[in-house]
Amino acid sequence: MNQQAFSRGPASRSAIPNVIFGLLIANGLVFALQQMNPYFMTVNFALWPATHAQSPFMPWQLLTYGFLHGNLTHIAFNMFGLWMFGQDLERLWGSKRFLIYFLVCVVGAGVIQLLVAGLQGGLYPTVGASGGLFGLLLAYGLTFPNRIVVPLFPPIPMRAITFVFVFGLLELYLGLSGNAPGIANFAHLGGMLVGFLMLRFWGHRRRR
């Protein structure tokens, strides 16, 4: 899955929150296993289409694909985004809620990707934590709307909520136009959609 990195966000703190630290370690270890046996890891733990007759799809892939990455650049950008935008959310929500939110966004993005893959009819794997990351981006923009972030591309300062809106539209355009082949744009949008629904659900429970 595709990813983007950003050059500035909230002021960093000395300690990495527990869940983010664990996710960084887990993704690093899985990436190391990928280098040792890429075929085994991809066939068994990447997300494969569920409707193709020759697909090696298994249910656990809806979660495990989020811990695999295509190359060093892919994992580096995703983990940087996880640290950059996740640390304040974990400190605000607590470790348990943060972990639930992130993993549900990963699974939700995977479900959307399965639907898209079923319509396209191809046999190809999806890997990457970007579905969870895009869910975090949405939560960050809604929780800290007036924070200023500076994307690397383009390096223009903007409010966090503006950034989320612009990125969502960009992902929708790329997904519909097909101008970004090999990138699971609808999985990114799926992560944002599932994240939005979770935030609404939690907000409704608090009001009750």
199 or 119, which is more confident? 199
For the segment 143-155, the average pLDDT, to the nearest whole number, is: 86
Per-residue pLDDT, 13: 54
Q: How confident is the model at residue 99 (pLDDT cuts 50, 70, 90)?
A: very high
Q: Considering the domain 37-207, what is its CATH architecture?
A: Up-down Bundle (1.20)
**Beta-bridge mates of residue 150:** 8
In the chain, where are the structural domains located? Answer: 37-207
Per-residue pLDDT, 3: 35
Per-residue pLDDT, 117: 87
Asked if 106 and 131 touch (Cβ cutoff 8 Å), the reply is yes
Entry pTM: 0.89
List the structure tokens of 34. 């990928």
Amino acid at 174: L
Q: How confident is the model at residue 11 (pLDDT cuts 50, 70, 90)?
A: very low
Residue 81, pLDDT above cutoff 80: yes
- Which residue, among 86, 94, 97, has the nearest Cα to 129 in the 3D structure? 86
